[in-house]
Amino acid sequence: MSEATNLHQLFDEQGQSPWLDNLRRNWIQDGELQRWLDRGVRGITSNPSIFQKAIEGSEDYTEEFASLLAAGKSVEESYWGLVTTDIEAALALTRPIYDESNGLDGYVSVEVDPGLARDREGTEAAARVLWDTIDEPNLYVKIPATAEGVPAIQQMIAERRSINVTLLFSVDRYRDVMEGYIAGLEAAEGDLSAISSVASFFISRVDVEVDKRLDAIGTDAALALKGKAAVANGKLAYVAFQETFSGPRWDALVARGARVQRPLWASTSTKSPDLPDTLYVDALIGPDSVNTIPDATLENFLDHGTVARTVDMDVDDARAVLADIAALGIDLDEVAVQLEDEGVIAFEKSFSSLLDSLAIKAAELQA
């Protein structure tokens, strides 16, 4: 057993699960991923941008890619083959955590084709293919929380498929997602204990956009609010989580084995040099939650992060911050819509760019 770290303390003392927001094949092969698990990481998330960096940034995938092409697979089919190999290897490494925690942690997340973010039926079909192909209980299929994605999420839960809901920016949309999760559980048959879900609420990107608007206003009152919107938004999301998973309706599902859909704080690396580098970990710690953290931020938190319950502290102050921002004319609902659109476009661009790169590599291999 490795020496206890503050990642272990985060879970043991505060009930929050730290996950790693990155995945690379060489980490699987050289033991780096296992070392992260030994240091207290309890799950892994990926997205199209992560796979773009991993596959374009190394030759670790070339041999398998060539084999897939030789077997008659298309470039896109080969991409999914490469992804599946990495996800299955990571699932094997995290399976002991899944078993030991009785299905609480030990998950690895893989996202559906980001081009389907506005296509409910396409999302459902793609999620079924990923879930059935990989066929491991500790898999999360990621579905964006777009207006079209929410009913797809509900349907997947009703079909007993565990889902990581991604690209959440507003508390209102988060409430829609939690309602979809509960309705999906109500439609599912039998014992519910094997169905799991997290809702990935994005943090730092909110500050990036809001701070840009505060800078444009430029008054002392506006500048004093910089770096505060994202944490305040997350704190109110946690309040919504606590409110939703309580009461008679939820208790009836708990009696059937249901688990809460834990909020997962995503996009938790600090983008501004003016803010503490562990801000979005330190400020959102609390029970029944997850924080998926890029490796550089994990290293910073291991070195000098603070383990203390913070997510439901100073909630009135959080409300006041968001009210002050709104009073300056910044529409946080409009910000959320913009960030959702930008997130979908960014993942689509990563996916498309990677397929283009693989097509060039395929031509070189065939030559």
Query: Could you confirm whether 142 is annotated as catalytic?
Result: yes
Residue 285 CB coordination number (10 Å): 24
Given 142, 228, 235, 361, the catalytic residue: 142
Integer Cα distance of 16 and 41 in angstroms: 11
Residue indicated by tokens 């996950």: 19
- Enter the DSSP assignment of 365: H
Sign (positive/negative) of CA torsion 327, 333, 337, 343? positive
* Nearest partner of 163 among 199, 126, 203, 135, judged by Cα: 199
CA distances from 219 to 18, 321, 331 (A): 38, 16, 17
Show the tokens assigned to 18.
């730290």
- In whole angstroms, what separates CA 117 from the centre of its chain? 15
* Nearest partner of 123 among 161, 155, 149, 146, judged by Cα: 149
Tell me the sheet residues that pair with 199: 165, 263
Give alpha helix (H) positions in the chain.
6-14, 25-30, 32-38, 48-56, 62-70, 75-100, 120-134, 149-158, 171-187, 204-217, 220-223, 229-244, 248-254, 279-282, 295-304, 315-327, 332-366
Integer Cα distance of 198 and 136 in angstroms: 17
**Active site positions, annotated:** 142
